[in-house]
Structure 1
Amino acid sequence: MSTYKKLIFFLFASMVVLAACNNDDKGADKNKSLVVKGLYSYGPEIKSFTECEDGREFWVADSAKTLELAYSNLGFEKPYTPVYIEVECKLVKSDTSKITGDYDSTMVVTKLLKISKQIPDGPCSQ
């Protein structure tokens, strides 16, 4: 019976260690910055981003406070005109109780790398 208890204890301890390792990996991914490229639209009610490669849509939060300013400085007459952007960001789960809940994730922009009225040829221009 003593060997049986040791085996059960060993299996339980192994499961705890594996679960702890998996949680650490998930936490590291949340803090990882990404560089994304796509189309950004801005206006009074919507701040959205569509990724060029796979078409995923994100709500945009501009933590750097440079994206919205750069968009406004482009001088559009009408809101929601899409522009091409490249940004560093982090993805966080959207709050389902707000308008952001319509999007899978919220893209929190930490650094604006490029903004352009010219949409490059390729997946973004379709």
Structure 2
Amino acid sequence: MASTLLSWIDEDGNQQINEGERMGRSVVLARETVGGGEMLVLSDPSIFINGMTGLEKSRDNERFIDNLLILHPHLFIEQAHTSTGTSGLVIDIRERIQKANVFKLLLLTVIIGLLVIAQRASHGGLHGHERN
């Protein structure tokens, strides 16, 4: 699958065609047999984002994705080389913490502890001292 003749590779990222950047077709989807499987390489992973699925029928990304999933139900999407794949250290740490079972257990313990404290406070105060 290739782009249109009016495409170019934007070497300097300014979203304009400049000297040295030629217009022409470029491969956007390639297929290769690897071992017992098949690898598809798509140059623009943004096809999978919500904003790209409701396009007009001539650009029917939703149908393309459906057909891809029918043909290849075990689909692996690699995003390490995209802007969303390199989200930064803080986001990476937060995501790892959220996925960790230790964090979930600790959070549950804190919530239960706060509920116990609130319960005791409403039924006679803290430290075993009852209200008069």
TM-score normalised according to structure 1 size = 0.22
The structure with the greater share of residues assigned to helix is 2
Query: Which structure ranks higher in relative contact order (CA pairs < 8 Å, sequence separation ≥ 6)?
Result: 1
TM-score normalised according to structure 2 size = 0.22
The structure with the greater share of residues assigned to strand is 1
